[in-house]
Chain A
């Protein structure tokens, strides 16, 4: 316990340095901005800003990038409430009740509760990251290649189970990602694989290119299909402060949302989007009168907003302790760390304590900044939304193009990004989720390396994965999850067949 306090003290001494405070402020402001603007997510923004961080010290760079991530969760809620357009996919559920509240003239309390819930969740999850960091790191040191492989299998299964839509298709997407990650050079022999003698491919396909393509550009292509219709609540936002009754009604929801969000954030494949959905559904099931939901229930704002913020922060835990990114944004953080010569994993905490704890402390400070700075800025954010999409998207395109190009000064990278934009557009037309593919793509090289090592150590005997207890346990959980997720689907399929044979 005293360790925890002294560690946090170290963290705050790092995070409170003026330069780091500035980075944190820039990160949270930029994050809120992109959270407010629909059509550009935290993933594309972090990818775009990666080149900027080249010149910064590693701690400052990571503080800023982390700020973008949780700032975006926050900004997304503002637009959900005010104009019924979620700025981020993690704020989709907030539109249900948040916008209804705004229509009833209660936009102020809705925004305030979102902020308070986010801040509370941020505080709790900061402590959680700090408290779980050390024990998980010591667990990680017990892991051999077989355990790492099984852990990643579990992570991918989580991503599959939690993805919306067909499980079969999600597994196929994971495999597609794994396959794409094989392009380039073999890790052990250095032999060129599936690179067709294209020199730019000898290092493999870049993660930023894939991510920006399937998330950034594909999203723009989809947005261009619909003509614009935005309805901004013009009513003045009066009385920002929620009433005592509001606070009492949402206190429980905030607590439960924080809990659900924290757990789902730690689990690989989870993250903010799923956390928000789960918290909302749970709250609706818990409620005495579920019919209030969708008509401006304040719990319907408090729970998902707390959950997505908690999840955004706890998803740093697997990255910082095990070196495994649990979702796509964290995968980009791996890229950012690698640029600065930091290998994510258990050694970060022991070798660079000021980085580890500084980042954690900055999360709390960042959350505080979000509440203090952003509530008064709501008016500015709303005005920004009047910028029409026809002007917004060319700006996003050119920033992304310049960002991708400047990573390696390579025009080829820009072409690859465009190609993956088309791939992402096609995937969305066939109801394939790009997120599991991206996770497979990121984990691919790590998985192959650990699979090969484990097999080598076991002298080619694949039973090593089930005879080593930790590995077997992880695989058992993965299998259980898969079965649980498949059961209702099979039953439904049977029902369909049954009804058809009747008619």
Chain B
């Protein structure tokens, strides 16, 4: 995602930066897939091997990605859109915290922390309201999932 600043600076050179960098990223993905499937056996006789289909699709993707980048280089298009950091950052952080805490921390504490972190993802956050709302939601989740739906959740940390 670091191509954003680079793109807006070089706006004059690349006429359709959204397509150009998007296409390049797909070429990169295809190259990565080709590299990751390099050790898989390919065709033997007329039967496909495990590596045939991945390499086939990766090859096609590389060609198309290059074509998109080329079109982006030759035609005009809208400039890159700004990437907002705050929302994606806190949402991702909230999910990572959930993943890290749910096993050792139990549902109650994990939900509360994850909700508060996620809520910080907007400029409009109001902290007192958030804490109360997080407590209400935590209570709701702790009743709904383990009791209402009978899912195997551990509520509190294990010591």
* A217: interface (CB < 8 Å): yes
Contacting pair B22 A169 (CB below 8 A): yes
Contacting pair A225 B94 (CB below 8 A): no
In the complex, what residues of B have CB within 8 A of residue A366's CB?
none
Within residues 163 to 183 of chain A, which ones have a CB less than 8 A from any CB in chain B?
A: 166, 168-169, 171-172, 175-176, 178-179, 182
Q: What class of interface size applies to chain B in its complex with A?
A: 35 or more
| Residue among B22, B36, B64, B153 making CB contact with A194, cutoff 8 Å | B36
Considering the chains assembled together, what is the distance between the CA atoms of A55 and B18 in angstroms?
46
Q: Nearest residue in B to A177 (C-beta to C-beta)? A: B57
* B86: interface (CB < 8 Å): yes
Distance (Å) between the CB of A167 and the closest chain B CB? 10
Contact string against A for B residues 9-52, beta-carbon threshold 8 Å, 1 for contact and 0 otherwise: 00000000011011101100110010011001100011111110
Contact string against B for A residues 221-257, beta-carbon threshold 8 Å, 1 for contact and 0 otherwise: 1001101100000000000000000000000000000
* A432: interface (CB < 8 Å): yes
Considering the chains assembled together, what is the distance between the CA atoms of A166 and B86 in angstroms?
30
Q: What class of interface size applies to chain A in its complex with B?
A: 35 or more
* A57: interface (CB < 8 Å): no
Contacting pair B64 A171 (CB below 8 A): yes
Contacting pair A166 B137 (CB below 8 A): no
Chain B at the A interface: SS class: helix
Q: List 20 other contacts, CB 8 Å, given A179-B58, A390-B124, A429-B4.
A: A169-B68, A175-B60, A179-B30, A179-B57, A193-B40, A193-B50, A224-B91, A227-B124, A391-B129, A394-B116, A398-B111, A411-B99, A425-B88, A426-B1, A426-B25, A431-B19, A452-B53, A456-B47, A459-B46, A460-B47
A/B interface sample: 23 pairs, CB < 8 A: A51-B151, A176-B61, A182-B37, A193-B51, A224-B91, A227-B124, A390-B125, A395-B115, A397-B94, A401-B94, A401-B98, A402-B111, A402-B141, A406-B153, A411-B102, A421-B91, A421-B92, A425-B88, A429-B18, A429-B80, A430-B22, A448-B48, A455-B47
Chain B residues engaging chain A, CB cutoff 8 angstroms: 1, 4, 18-19, 21-23, 25-26, 29-30, 33, 36-37, 40-41, 45-51, 53-54, 57-58, 60-61, 64-65, 67-68, 71, 75-76, 80-81, 83-84, 86-88, 91-92, 94-96, 98-100, 102-103, 107, 111, 114-116, 118-119, 121-126, 129-130, 133-134, 137, 141, 145, 149-153
